[in-house]
């Protein structure tokens, strides 16, 4: 019988646009991606330029110094590699939900991040790990769009919980949210 499952859904603002190219290339090398592929990506990303059109006016071309291409076939893979070290850091925490003899404390799909933990303190530790990683990798979590959903047993349905903090701001507690297009509710119903 469960008592609580704390879930936090993090919104990383403009996550693909904020990827640091040098950090990404370093991660690709450390991951063992063949050198010729890394060199191709370095060439693509260091030689890309952009212009801005506003009405009938066009800006001068300028170099793009960070970000991965929106809609690109490789983009989700590159972003996953960029975020993989966060996943490894979170796995080092023993806070999480035990499922089939495995501790699960996070789910990532590209820039959609979900944290889960049966303890309030454990979830706060996971949030602190995410905050530190974000500072190191120029990721900004939008604290206005990031939310906490608490799945409570009926025994503790009205218990008061301290707010969860991220970047010195309290996260909003909600009774339902969408994750990867699917509604998740605090009461476990799925009839939306």
- For the stretch 154-177, pLDDT in tens is 655 666 667 898 988 889 988 888
Which tens digit of pLDDT belongs to each residue from 86-107?
Answer: 999 999 988 888 888 888 999 9
Q: What is the pTM of this model?
A: 0.84
pLDDT one-digit tens code per residue, 111-152 = 889 999 998 899 999 999 999 999 999 999 999 999 999 887
**Among 21, 177, 187, 67, which residue's Cα sits nearest to residue 113?**
177
Residue 56, pLDDT score: 94
Longest CA span, the chain? 64
Place of tokens 């990867």: 180
Q: How far apart are CA 98 and CA 102, in angstroms?
A: 5
Q: Which two tokens stand for residue 41?
A: 């990506």
**What pLDDT digit, counting tens, does each position of 12-64 carry?**
888 889 999 999 999 999 999 999 999 999 999 988 888 999 999 999 998 88
Q: According to the model, what pLDDT value does residue 184 have? A: 84
Please report the pLDDT score of residue 130 as a whole number. 96
CB 24 within 8 A of CB 82: yes
Percent of the chain with pLDDT over 90: 49
Alpha helices in the chain (DSSP H): 21-30, 35-46, 75-91, 120-136
- pLDDT of 111 reads 81
Q: What is the pLDDT of residue 79?
A: 92
């Amino acid at each position: 019988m469960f008592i609580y499952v704390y879930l936090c859904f993090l919104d990383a603002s403009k996550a693909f646009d904020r990827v640091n190219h040098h950090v990404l290339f370093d991660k690709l090398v450390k991951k063992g991606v063949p050198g010729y592929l890394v060199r191709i990506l370095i060439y693509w990303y260091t030689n890309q330029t952009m212009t801005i059109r506003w009405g009938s006016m066009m800006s001068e071309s300028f170099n793009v110094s960070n970000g991965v291409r929106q809609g690109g076939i490789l983009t989700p893979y590159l972003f996953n590699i960029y975020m993989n070290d966060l996943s490894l850091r979170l796995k080092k925490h023993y806070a999480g939900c035990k499922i089939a003899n495995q501790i699960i404390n996070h789910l990532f799909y590209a820039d959609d991040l979900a944290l889960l933990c049966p303890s309030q303190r454990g979830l706060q530790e996971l949030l602190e790990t995410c905050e530190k990683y974000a500072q190191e990798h120029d990721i900004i979590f939008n604290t206005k769009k990031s939310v906490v959903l608490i799945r409570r047993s009926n025994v503790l349905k009205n218990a008061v919980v301290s707010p969860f903090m991220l970047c010195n701001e309290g996260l909003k507690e909600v009774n339902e949210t969408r994750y990867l297009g699917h509604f998740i509710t605090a009461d476990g119903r799925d009839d939306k």
